Amino acid sequence: MGRPHPAPDCIDVRFASSHALGEDAELALEDYARALLGAREAELIPGPSGRVAGVHVCGAAGPPGVLAADLEDFARELVRRAERDRTRQ
C-alpha cells in the first residue's frame, strides 16, 4: 500500500481544511480511519506545512460517504484536545 502506488481498492478521503496534529494524534487518526471505514490500512495525506490534509485508506468496507465528515470531525477534536492540554500547562 502507499499513496504513490495505490491498490485498486484504495481511496483518498480529503479534508475541507488541513489540520496540525502531533505524532500521537496522527496515529490516533489513522487508527480511527481504519475502524470507522472498516479499512485494512490507512495513511495520512500530508498537507502544507506538515499539516494533515486527509487520509488514504485501502480496503474500506464501502465508499466513505458521510463517514468522511466524521473522520474530519475527529481530526478537529484531536486539535482541540491538544490546544486544551497546552493551555493547562
Supply the DSSP symbol for 9: T
Q: Residue for cell digits 495520512?
A: 44
Domain count, the chain: 1
Q: Is the pTM of this model over 0.85?
A: yes
Q: Residue for cell digits 497546552?
A: 86
Give start and end residues of each alpha helix (H) in the chain: 23-37, 67-88
Tell me whether residue 2 is in a domain.
no
Supply the DSSP symbol for 62: S
Tell me whether residue 1 is in a domain.
no
Q: Is 5 a residue whose pLDDT tops 80? A: no
Q: What is the pLDDT of residue 2?
A: 65
Domain that holds residue 59: 10-88
Q: Is 1 a residue whose pLDDT tops 60? A: no
